[in-house]
Amino acid sequence: MKKFFGKYLHRIFLITIGLVAIVILNLTLFKILLKYQDAQKTNTELRQSISGNEESIRNLQSETAQLKGEDLRKTNDGLKLEIDNIKKSFKSAVGLYEQILILKEGGSTGTSMESKLSSILNFLSQDNLPSAQKTGDTLLAEINKEKAKQASQKVAAIPANVPEISGAPASGYRRQKVTVGDASFLVDIISADLNSTKVIVDTASDSTCGNNCPVLPLATYVSRSNAYAGINGTYFCPETYPSCVDKKNAFDILVMNKNKVYFNSDNNVYSSVPAAIFSGNSARFVGKSSEWGRDTGVDAVIANRPLLMLDGNLMFGAGGEDKETIKSNRSFLGASGSTAYIGVVHSATVAESAKVLQAMGIRSAINLDSGGSTALWSGGYKVGPGRNLPNVVLFVRR
């Protein structure tokens, strides 16, 4: 009996062990199944992710292929050309506007030309370059026609009571008619004896000025320097000119004012601009201001172009810059021995004004600013007043 029971217990133990093994096996299989399901889920997500990435990659590849198919350099060159053309057209419009201003100073009304200029600016604002360029060509042709018209015009009417005198006055102010060849010119001129008169240059600024420079009317300069006569000075950049936006009322040529201050000295060490130097009872004219040092022992130094006369010789003939070839009022500063001259030749080109001065016997002279800047004072305005000025030439008593 005991043997049988022991054998029975042994079988129960084996069965129990088997059942436990089955349970463990099932649990293990269940865990494996769960891990498999998780792996399947992960694989599915990975496949979806990979599929999405593959689609993104395909899109990138497509965009890359499209970019490769485009000629980016050609596109950039096209944009650069368009921008350059806009800049060129705008710069051309600015130049045309300034030519209109110069023509208006010479007597042109400019109404039709200003209308065309407005059209150009309107076309540019619309990026319509072809129309802007076409209108610009039309305007340029009209400007050239007006220049030719002004150049061919006879001199301004000379009042009947103005005497015809070929020579310059010995002293003081005189209005006279001077005939050169087959043309007569109206001349306002002031002569001064350098033994009793000092020539000075007065400036609105105390030193070299590059932009937004002060300016004054000629009458103010005359009054504050106690002068008895005066005339406008050098070329400068009027604030009304678009190209002068960064150098309003500035001038860049050599001047020594009444306070012995040299202007633009550094800029003019090698300048080719002519100059006039007044000292005591004499005057000296040089073809280049670089020929002159920085002596402050003299009374005045002023440079401007062109040189009209030198020691009796005509120095400026036909041609020159556009603004020098149209009829306009031409201011000048000259000297013969111990006599100084300031004056205006009316309705003349620069070349014609030089011939007028030669006919009047003036030995040396330089051209001063003209057009809208022209102003001459002798007991009051004889010409002008013109625009306000950054510098002037004055006659004061010694």
Q: What is the pLDDT of residues 166-211, one digit of tens each?
A: 999 999 999 999 999 889 999 999 999 999 999 999 999 999 999 9
**Inside any domain, residue 338:** yes
Task: Find how far residue 281's CA is from the centre of its chain.
Answer: 40
**Inside any domain, residue 134:** yes
Looking at the structure, tell me whether residues 313 and 179 fall in a common domain.
yes
Give the DSSP H or E segment for 188. Answer: strand 183-193
pLDDT, greater one: 97 or 240: 240
| Residue 195 CB partners (closer than 8 Å, separation 6+) | 281, 338, 398
CA distance 187 to 165: 10
CB atoms within 10 A of CB 107: 16
**Inside any domain, residue 50:** yes
Looking at the structure, tell me whether residues 234 and 270 fall in a common domain.
yes
CB atoms within 10 A of CB 306: 18
CA distance 393 to 344: 13
**Inside any domain, residue 167:** no
CA distance 126 to 387: 35
Looking at the structure, tell me whether residues 110 and 10 fall in a common domain.
no
**Inside any domain, residue 221:** yes
Lowest mean pLDDT among 37-41, 80-84, 277-281: 37-41
| Residue 382 CB partners (closer than 8 Å, separation 6+) | 173, 175, 188, 344, 376
| Residue 385 CB partners (closer than 8 Å, separation 6+) | 217, 218, 219, 375
Confidence class for position 272, pLDDT limits 50, 70, 90: confident
Average pLDDT over residues 210-232: 97
Please provide the average confidence, as pLDDT, over all residues in the chain. Answer: 82
Looking at the structure, tell me whether residues 184 and 309 fall in a common domain.
yes
The last residue of a domain, from among 70, 105, 121: 70
The last residue of a domain, from among 107, 122, 152: 152
**Inside any domain, residue 278:** yes
Looking at the structure, tell me whether residues 124 and 262 fall in a common domain.
no
Average pLDDT over residues 142-148: 75
Looking at the structure, tell me whether residues 97 and 229 fall in a common domain.
no
pLDDT, greater one: 317 or 328: 328
Most confident of 45-59, 134-148, 352-366: 352-366
Lowest mean pLDDT among 70-74, 147-151, 190-194, 297-301: 70-74
The last residue of a domain, from among 37, 70, 103: 70
Please state the domain count of the chain.
3
Confidence class for position 254, pLDDT limits 50, 70, 90: very high
Is there a contact between 386 and 214 (Cβ–Cβ < 8 Å)?
Answer: no
pLDDT, greater one: 347 or 221: 221
Query: How many CA atoms lie less than 13 Å away from 229 in the CB half-sphere?
Result: 24
**Inside any domain, residue 191:** yes
**Inside any domain, residue 158:** no
Lowest mean pLDDT among 247-251, 301-305, 314-318, 370-374: 314-318
- State percent of the chain over pLDDT 90: 48
Among residues 100, 381, 384, 373, the alpha carbon closest in space to that of 234 is found at 373
Looking at the structure, tell me whether residues 122 and 243 fall in a common domain.
no
Range of the domain at 348: 172-397
Looking at the structure, tell me whether residues 266 and 335 fall in a common domain.
yes
Looking at the structure, tell me whether residues 381 and 261 fall in a common domain.
yes
141 pLDDT more than 90: no
Tokens of 186: 């109206």
Looking at the structure, tell me whether residues 233 and 125 fall in a common domain.
no
Given this model, what pLDDT does residue 17 score? 57
Given this model, what pLDDT does residue 364 score? 97
Tokens of 345: 């030749």
Looking at the structure, tell me whether residues 66 and 91 fall in a common domain.
no
Note the pLDDT tens digit of each residue in 333-343.
Answer: 999 999 999 99
Looking at the structure, tell me whether residues 133 and 196 fall in a common domain.
no
Confidence class for position 257, pLDDT limits 50, 70, 90: very high
